[in-house]
Amino acid sequence: MKQTPTISVCTIVKNERDRIDDFLASLVDFADEIVVVDTGSTDDTCACIENFISVHKSANIRFFKYTATGGFHYGVAKNFSIDKATKNYVIVLDADERLSDEFKQTVHSFLSDQNPNVANVVRKDELLPHLIDFPERIIRRDSGIRYGVDDLAKVHEQLVHTATVKSFPGVVWHEQRWNHYIMRPQRIFFQLELQIDRIPKTKSFFGHFLRGIWYFFYRFKKIYFTRKLYKDGVLGFKYAFMRAFDAFLVELFVGLKPSDGGQYWSIIKK
């Protein structure tokens, strides 16, 4: 008889005091282990986590604090959380994501039958029904599969591997709510800084400006038409516009960087 695979849910959090209790509560009866890594909260997130652990003593929740060196990197931070896990499989989640009941009821049998090294899931947005993607979120812990640590993974983290990806049909709900792009468009600015920092200036300002315009229309078309967000009405348009505008802003500000790669002090001394 096959042994039921054990599961660690790993997450990195920052300033999630309004959501962390609900997130943990949704997992205590499902996960064999919950690994929570705080990446520098300035609100009461850490206190909320510690209080939740003290109340739910039977839950296997392991809490760590992570301090970035050399600038924050999503891939490195997520690898830190995975390395703290101890169970057979790791499910990587964000604090604004929730596992569907179907996911919880069927994932153990999927892992036992398919024995995957890595698997993708179905992620659906609660406000935009047609915003569906299939991120790789299930990893065999001892497979050695981790997120990339290059400049690209600094913001858009991806697992690096050559394994066959199995597809798990369980749904992960993306419940951004008040923090959704269409509710708080200003949230793009945190990631904007990271993206500008990782992209080198390779053209003149005008060259990057023109490329930004091209990226705007390319991304808008891809999100609004190809992914059919036009079916989600005004909210679908707003989301597609914000993501396209983000692509434009990245190129705009990269074009404003000094041509010598950002050596501002040397420019001032000249």
Tokens read off for 117? 């090294």
111, 214: one domain: no
Last residue within a domain, chosen from 150, 178, 206? 178
Q: How many domains does the chain have?
A: 2
User: DSSP per residue over 74-108, as a string?
Assistant: HHHHHHHHHHT--SSEEEE--TTEEE-HHHHHHHH
User: CA-CA distances (angstroms) from residue 109 to 27, 76, 104, 112?
Assistant: 18, 30, 10, 5
| 61 and 158 share one domain | yes
Residue 56, token pair as written in the block: 């739910």
> What is the rounded CA–CA span in Å between residue 145 and residue 163?
9
Sorted by sequence, the CB contacts under 8 Å of residue 11 that are 6+ apart come out as 23, 34, 35, 36, 37, 81, 92, 93, 94, 95
Q: Which of 178, 209, 239 is the last residue of a domain?
A: 178
Structural domain includes residue 269: no
Rounded to whole angstroms, the Cα distance separating 50 from 21 reads: 10
Beta strands in the chain (DSSP E): 7-13, 33-38, 61-65, 89-92, 97-99, 118-125, 132-133, 136-140, 146-147, 159-160, 165-174
The whole-model pTM stands at: 0.86
Q: Is 265 helix (H, G, I), strand (E, B) or coil?
A: helix
Q: For 72-84, what is each residue's pLDDT tens digit?
A: 888 999 999 999 9
Write down the residue that tokens 């406000």 correspond to: 127
CA dist 124 and 228 (Å) reads 14
If pLDDT is split at 50, 70 and 90, which confidence band does 1 have?
Answer: low
pLDDT top residue among 269 and 44: 44
CATH number of the domain where residue 90 is located: 3.90.550.10
In a shared domain, residues 210 and 171: no
Tell me what percent of the residues of the chain surpass a pLDDT of 90: 76
Q: Are residues 156 and 139 in the same domain?
A: yes
Average pLDDT over residues 86-91: 98
Domain range enclosing 196: 184-256
> Do 63 and 131 lie in a common domain?
yes
Regarding whether 123 and 45 lie in a shared domain, the answer is: yes
Q: Are residues 154 and 191 in the same domain?
A: no
Of 110-124, 148-162, 177-191, 226-240, the one with minimum mean pLDDT is: 177-191
CA angle 148, 88, 156 (to 5 degrees): 20
Residue 191 lies in a domain: yes
Question: β-strand 136-140 against 89-92: which pairing, if any?
Answer: antiparallel
